[in-house]
Structure 1
Amino acid sequence: MIRRLIPLLALLLLAGLAPRLLPSFHVTLLNYIGLYSLVALGLVLLTGIGGMTSFGQAAFVGIGAYASAVLTTHYGLSPWLGLLAGLAITLVVATALGLLTLRLAGHYLPIGTLAWGLALFYLFGNLPGLGGFGGLQNLPNISLFGWQIRDSADFSLLIGVLLVISLWLLDNLLHSRQGRAIRTLKDSAGMAEAMGIDTARSRLQVFIIAALLAALSGWLYAHLQRVVNPTPFSVVMGIEYLFMIVLGGVASLWGALLGATLLTLIKQVLQDVLPQLFGHADNVEMIFFGVLVILVLQYARGGLLPVLSRLVPAAKPRPLPEHAAHALPRRTMPANGQPLMVAEGLLKQFGGLVANKDMGLTVHGAEITALIGPNGAGKSTLFNLLSGVLAPNAGQIVFLGQRIDGLSPRAIARLGVSRTFQHVRLLPDMSVLENVALGAHARGKAGLLRSMLHWERKEEAALLAEARRQIERVGLGDALHTPAGSLPLGQQRIVEIARALCSDPLLLLLDEPAAGLRYGEKQALAHLLEQLRGEGLGVLLVEHDMEFVMGLADQIVVMEFGQRLAGGTPVQIQQNPAVLAAYLGGVE
């Protein structure tokens, strides 16, 4: 924690000393860097980490600026009330736009943000009472406990304090349970839902945080300039904000500051140099920025800060609490042999293709049930029906007496069903510990505000302690702080099992867990599954390795052409003529 505070204290010290050490022009540049950094911080969270590209952040800057400008110039209210009004209006607008826009996927999302960014820009210029494109002038100074904040030197400290507070809040958020959920949004939303994470809610929260930071920047800008007009809130400025995070570090909070600094300084230099070269500046610097961004994307895709970070020795991982963490509550295991999940008469059609027909199976507590069949038999479809990824066209699925067919993967996960994936879905840049802790997300309660203020220390310690316990349980204790993407495929599959166990499931669904494992790793996996069975856990696994299945499963269900071909013990399945015909084409 202290290591993370040192850069923040250094930044605050710079904000306090800058007016005493630098000329006023340079202090003004620093102020603009601070204002741009606030918007860029939100974009790092929204775009770099959350995976949602927005061209409309400048419009939220405008809402914060205009709200305060109208209240202070037309009604004579305090700028602080203008700030509250700007944040409140931004909250309402961002919530409404987020609910509409964030449903879009792929390239439709940035196009949607471009549309409402343009709409708000022209609204600022045409809405009665906002001064048209000439804007509003003579905004009052900000006063704080008798301190009149008039010039750039005064604003330097205020902007610095607000920037440091914003960095601290976002850093706390990203090192929390909520932060891990946010990191799944970019590439692993399906996995996150299977871990009990409400990804739609997380996306909306990130969108609102980014909008509020932009509005805060707009409020500061309005009273620093004391003039507000629509020009600084155009889509062109929104693109520049994106340039900042791409240049500095698209997924790094400090990269936002670096990008804002570099773009501001480069822009200033170009405005001095270009008139000498071309006789005018106009928007020629945007051509330069475009080329620069292309080069960065080509040779430093994550931005310049990650490149610079490789030159600095990596910081040691945070030590985990040994005794302070309390144990998380655990579910009561059902009686051995009790039916956990019962599927009957399942039908799944994709147009004219029938993937599953009249399919059923039962998984009991303290038993391992294997689902096998030739390629194309419909095993994956059935697995997705049982885990909630797909909804059946007919039939029912019951888990501990409750129908779950049609429920979302998140809802099914919260009932006590956890799963792994056929193709490993880990966050490669996150440590093994953080990846596994995602499985315990539904066992925590700390919300966004508690996480940002770092009031969830005890809960976070308990979640990480549980993740460590599951990692050691599967034999990967030496890889706690190793990036998950650097592990061999076999160990990545074991990490997925540890993540599934971290949710304290009653039923474990494993999709080809032995694929890619060496003989010794398979033996270790078999030993682990036998241990879980002994603890009362029910296991359903889809697998192609017959030797692995026959030596482990209590019951085996065989599928062919989307239907149940046979079921029974391993001995019964090995002696079943229909199964032998399906796999070997008949027996002599």
Structure 2
Amino acid sequence: MTHIFNHTVTRLLLLAAVALIACLPLPDFWVTQLNYIGMYSLVVLGLVLLTGIGGLTSFGQAAFVGVGAYTSAYLCTQYGLSPWLTVFIGLAITGTSAMLLGVMTLRMSGHYLPLATIAWGLSLYYLMGNLDALGKYDGLLGVPSITLFGADLGGGKPFFVLTWVLVLLGAFALTNLLDSRTGRAIRSLRTGALMAEAMGINTLRFKIGIFTLAAMFASVSGWLFAHFQRTVNPSPFGLKMGIEYLFMAVLGGVGQIWGAITGAFLTKLLEDQLQVLLPKLIGTSGNFETIVFGIVLVLVLKYLPDGLWSLVARWFPKKPRAEDWTQATRLPERTKPEASSTVLEVRAIRKQFGGLTAVNDISFAIQAGQITGLIGPNGAGKSTTFNLI
């Protein structure tokens, strides 16, 4: 009970901090910076779930930001719908497209999955840039602001409060998800599918689930972006931004929920400062900050693989693990066989690959409660025997 109380107090304090910052006399520049950091944080929260927790690398999250942004911008400018309605339509479209892409690509493993995310990310980017209805590469202009009961929330501190409340609610939701039985199943995906599937987890279903959820976080960010910028074009939704979102996740701590906000905060500030300082130092203009980001990424991966948030997390005591399994409903269990009864009998199995006999005349029986091992050197035919059984 004390743990739950402390958890609730912490969350209320974070929400109160947003209200306090909104009351401070901050310059417009810093308010705008915090607004962008909040929008980036939403995307990176999804990447923490997808990549850091679930072990699935995606370079295409920026394209899902574009789907959310374009959906809201088009429906508001062409049909006059309220932004409070278009956000849910955008979530539905993004979620549906993410599920379809997930079904097609998430069976892949190794380097094939990241390559697939690059492919569909580029496809969505060029689709946005070539549709006449979306204004091609000029995009859509005149996107209305977000209003609530007549109050304009589309910029400045009102937009700051809206954005950061959504960020904190998203972080709280992911924390609750990862502390649940479903969350433990999601965490098991990172170490491979075999052990998870042996425990009865449908790994593909969970992969599609977190892939869709990460895309929906990106969609909300796109909705905010469209109504903050008041215009939408394909430029912010390309592969470059997809890589930058991953950089934010790695820098802050790809396996840490609060690392998402840390990474977005540091990346945005570094990017703006380097764009001013580097041309002065080098004497010529250019995208030199990209080179610095590449060096920083290599150093972080080598010397601080858990991200910068891991340094902060050392100062906070770890909360005790909630033993929610003690009250959990027992899983269904079938009737066990009687002791010493035969549960598996194999008779004279044989397998040939052309002229090579891999398995020849294998016979054995296993009784209930008995542990049987299959031992042999590489190439002896153990896997083939299991496949035959």
The alignment partner of 1:192 has SS state of helix
Alpha-carbon separation, structure 2, partners of 1:282 and 1:55: 24
**Corresponding residue to 2:130 among 112, 126, 134:** 126
Alpha-carbon separation, structure 2, partners of 1:139 and 1:247: 33
Partner of 2:223: 219
Partner of 2:15: 12
The aligned runs of 1:291-306 (5 Å cut-off) are 291-306=295-310
Encode CA deviations 1:171-200: one digit per residue, 9 max, x unaligned: 111112221222222222111111111111
- Say whether 1:363 aligns with 2:334: no
Is the Cα contact below 8 Å between 2:65 and 2:218 reproduced in 1? yes
Alpha-carbon separation, structure 2, partners of 1:126 and 1:234: 14
The alignment partner of 2:344 has SS state of strand
User: Match of 2:17, as an amino acid?
Assistant: L
Alpha-carbon separation, structure 2, partners of 1:269 and 1:355: 64
Encode CA deviations 1:48-90: one digit per residue, 9 max, x unaligned: 1222111111000000000000000011111122112211111
The alignment partner of 1:340 has SS state of strand
User: Match of 2:75, as an amino acid?
Assistant: L
Query: What is the CA-CA distance between 1:319 and the residue it aligns to?
Result: 5.1
Partner of 2:84: 80
Alpha-carbon separation, structure 2, partners of 1:235 and 1:179: 29
The alignment partner of 2:365 has SS state of strand
**Corresponding residue to 1:47 among 46, 51, 72:** 51
TM-score (norm 1): 0.61
Query: What is the CA-CA distance between 1:228 and the residue it aligns to?
Result: 0.7
Cα distance 1:326–1:106, how it changes in 2: closer, same or farther (>3 A)?
A: closer
Cα distance 1:322–1:257, how it changes in 2: closer, same or farther (>3 A)?
A: closer
Encode CA deviations 1:327-364: one digit per residue, 9 max, x unaligned: 55544322233222233343345665443333232222
Partner of 1:107: 111
Alpha-carbon separation, structure 2, partners of 1:301 and 1:198: 29
Encode CA deviations 1:10-67: one digit per residue, 9 max, x unaligned: 3322322222212222111111111000000111111112221111110000000000
Is the Cα contact below 8 Å between 1:142 and 1:223 reproduced in 2? yes
Query: What is the CA-CA distance between 1:120 and the residue it aligns to?
Result: 1.2
Is the Cα contact below 8 Å between 2:275 and 2:287 reproduced in 1? no
Alpha-carbon separation, structure 2, partners of 1:147 and 1:349: 76
Corresponding pairs, count: 385
The aligned runs of 1:16-415 (5 Å cut-off) are 16-21=19-24, 22-310=26-314, 312=315, 314-318=317-321, 320=323, 324=327, 330-349=333-352, 353-365=356-368, 367-371=369-373, 375=377, 378=380, 380-381=382-383, 385=386, 391-392=387-388, 397=389
Query: What is the CA-CA distance between 1:202 and the residue it aligns to?
Result: 1.2
Relative contact order, higher structure (CA 8 A, sep 6+)? 2
Larger Rg: 1 or 2?
1
Is the Cα contact below 8 Å between 1:62 and 1:233 reproduced in 2? yes
Long gaps (5+) in structure 1: 386-390, 398-588
The alignment partner of 1:227 has SS state of coil
Cα distance 1:177–1:325, how it changes in 2: closer, same or farther (>3 A)?
A: closer
Is the Cα contact below 8 Å between 2:59 and 2:243 reproduced in 1? yes
Encode CA deviations 1:500-539: one digit per residue, 9 max, x unaligned: xxxxxxxxxxxxxxxxxxxxxxxxxxxxxxxxxxxxxxxx
Give the structure with the higher percent helix.
2
Long gaps (5+) in structure 2: none
User: Match of 1:173, as an amino acid?
Assistant: L
Alpha-carbon separation, structure 2, partners of 1:377 and 1:108: 27
Query: What is the CA-CA distance between 1:278 and the residue it aligns to?
Result: 3.4
Cα distance 1:301–1:378, how it changes in 2: closer, same or farther (>3 A)?
A: same
Encode CA deviations 1:401-423: one digit per residue, 9 max, x unaligned: xxxxxxxxxxxxxxxxxxxxxxx
The alignment partner of 1:185 has SS state of helix
Alpha-carbon separation, structure 2, partners of 1:349 and 1:265: 63
User: Match of 2:35, as an amino acid?
Assistant: N
Cα distance 1:283–1:320, how it changes in 2: closer, same or farther (>3 A)?
A: same
